Chains A and B, each alone.
Chain A
Amino acid sequence: MIEINQVSQVFQTSARQDHLALSDISLTIQDGAFVSILGPSGCGKSTLLYIVGGFVRPTRGAAKMKGRAITGPGPDRGPVFQEFALFPWKSVLGNVMYGPRQQGIKHAEAEAQSRALIEMVGLKGFEDFYPKELSGGMKQRVALARTLAYHPEVLLMDEPFGALDAHTRTRLQNDLLNIWERDRKTVLFVTHSVEEAVFLSDKVVMMTRSPGRIREIIEIDLPRPRRRTELLLDPRYQKYIVEIERMFDDSGEGE
């Protein structure tokens, strides 16, 4: 379980002004839940994810994982950044093997596990490619495999599919759901897209425009496993989307 308790984040800008990025965020995420964070650009979604990741220390309040205060990054929480952040000097295999090797797993075993993961994300045959030789969607798959390779309990995904075309995006959403349904990791998923949030999540956390506060938490009560083609015809799915879109419109906070 992840608990976020009255977290506020103030940034010092270069002009020496205080900028309130997050204001009094409290949120509890159950083990195995798929939770999306939805909000306008600049409302502090990434910042919130970095705080849970332990990359950024909140100015006020605290985040806890399994009852223990988060004081830094750790392999129990695996980030997938929007910018991919693959190591350019390592091949696909080298990137995916990095985590297991850091965890002290023997080379041969780490390699076998990593090859299996690469196959799972659909990149068999690309093991020796370098990141620069991959397309955006392939890089995103490698980034996901690299994080899955060290078996984090929580996945922290920052708009992972934001930069992809609609088709690749749908495919990766399905792949992610399959992986999640298989080992039920906790997922904290940041996105701009209302549709994506409703399709993937158990819970959608809507944030307000900067300074980010929690505006509304919507439980998504749709059956799993979810099939996009079936959901598109499902009135409940459509209702969620319309409801959330309206909330954006109401406060003039749409994109």
Chain B
Amino acid sequence: MNGRAITSDLLLGMIPIVLLVALWQALVSFGYAPVTLLPPPGQVFSRMAQQLLSTTFQQEIAATLFRLFAGFSIATVLGVTIGLAAAVNPAVNAVVRPIVRVLAPLPKVALYPALLLLVGFGHQSKILLVTFDALFPILLATYYGASTVEQKLIWSAMAAGTPPREILFKVVLPAAAPSILTGCRIGLVISCIVVFLAEMITSTDGLGHALVTAARTFQAVDMFVPLITISLVGLILNGLLELVRSYLLRGFPEA
């Protein structure tokens, strides 16, 4: 894609966001929602600008980002490793398949109380929850991608002299890259949601905690700031992942 196409895509992408903010403003202006519950967007955004400069709020963001990154990274490493292993090794597949079938549909947040008791209120419990939730989409996408690699690609590499044990890294992994990265994208969105949720349930810091604190003291403006911050964080991270993706997949059709 060339620069102009990206710019026009970006402009098109802004339209729904602008409409949403306009709708918000309209709801407030025409008195459909009381200002104490739904503050006008201008007030929220100016409060947000102010907050972004304050150290306390920056620390909340940092805590959330750290948990999100740690959980997502562990999920990616585990998901890709287990997914690849299961795709190429029938014994591993026989072990992994039933576990995934049982755990994938489980609402992982139900494990959170147990995690809190096990590892405490600090970073670990949140990181673990993010890992659990982001793991399965990445694992399943990797497994699917790696088990549908075109046989002739593997044969071509073997004929060129690649020993069987190297096929995994030289052919299967790069050939499965489009699926793996799609899995990562889903995993990243889930990570954003889950880290916020975990912080809302029990935490002493982080954006989710900031929201709950504001809600408990009926400070509507302060409630909206962390909410918008986490969506911005998600938007930026997704954009970064998209850059990585289009670089890694530059040879693949429809990347």
Contacts and interface: CB of A to CB of B under 8 A. Distances in A.
A87 B174 contact: yes
Number of contact residues on B: which range applies?
20 to 34
Best-surrounded residue of B157, B158, B161, B171 (most CB of chain A within 10 A): B161
A14 interface: no
Contacts of A199: none
Interface residues of A, number: 28
B155 interface: yes
Interface stretch (A5-13, A77-85, A212-220, A230-238): A77-85
A90 B251 contact: yes
A131 B251 contact: yes
Contacts of B152: 81, 83, 85
Contacts, number: 70
B88 to A, nearest CB: 17
B153 A85 contact: yes
Contacts of A98: 157, 160
A25 B174 CA distance: 38
Given A79-B156, A130-B250, A85 B150 contact: yes
Nearest to B159: A73
B32 interface: no
Contacts of B177: 89
Nearest to B164: A72
B82 interface: no
Contact of A103 (B161, B171, B249, B250): B161
A183 to B, nearest CB: 18
B251 A89 contact: yes
B247 to A, nearest CB: 11
6 contacts: A81-B156, A83-B152, A88-B251, A89-B177, A98-B157, A102-B162
